């Protein structure tokens, strides 16, 4: 499993509209090959900064299958009007966990 973390800075005043766009776009992620889950996190220290956290079965499920899909185009069409700058995307894998 691979976690995509997209840091997204939203235009000031567009926070609620962006959150609604993510909810509206969720089915495009849910329909994607290898999709596991999606969380939208809002930064407490800077409320115009979000982290979209998407779990995928493999890195290619995000970078190839999803990026080349109509679902990705639909997601970007909904969300990108609210972006203050291009998202910064990294991927992580878990190396330790505790509860």
Binding residues vs its own copies (CB under 8 A): 2-3, 5, 19, 22-23, 26, 29-30, 36-46, 50-51, 59, 90-99
β-bridge mates for residue 32, sequence order: none
Q: How far is the CB of 40 from its own copies (least distance, A)?
A: 4
- Residue 19 or 76 with smaller CB distance to its own copies: 19
* Phi, psi of 55, rounded to the nearest 5 degrees: -95, 135
57 in Cβ contact with 36 (< 8 Å)? yes
Q: How far is the CB of 2 from its own copies (least distance, A)?
A: 7
Regarding beta strands 49-56 and 2-9, do their DSSP bridges make them parallel or antiparallel, or are they unpaired? antiparallel
88 in Cβ contact with 40 (< 8 Å)? no
> What is the gyration radius of the CA atoms in the chain, in angstroms?
13
- Residue 58 or 80 with smaller CB distance to its own copies: 58
Residue recorded with tokens 């970078």 = 63
- Residue 24 or 80 with smaller CB distance to its own copies: 24
Q: How far is the CB of 84 from its own copies (least distance, A)?
A: 17
- Residue 12 or 97 with smaller CB distance to its own copies: 97
């Amino acid at each position: 499993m691979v976690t995509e973390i997209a840091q997204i800075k939203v235009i000031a005043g567009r926070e609620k509209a962006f959150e609604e766009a993510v909810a509206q776009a969720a089915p495009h992620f849910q329909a994607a090959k290898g999709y596991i889950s999606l969380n939208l996190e809002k930064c407490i220290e800077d409320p115009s900064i979000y982290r979209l956290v998407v779990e995928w079965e493999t890195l290619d499920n995000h970078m190839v299958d999803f990026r080349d899909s109509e679902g990705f185009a639909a997601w970007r069409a909904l969300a990108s009007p609210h972006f203050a700058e291009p998202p910064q995307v990294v991927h992580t894998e878990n190396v330790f966990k505790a509860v």
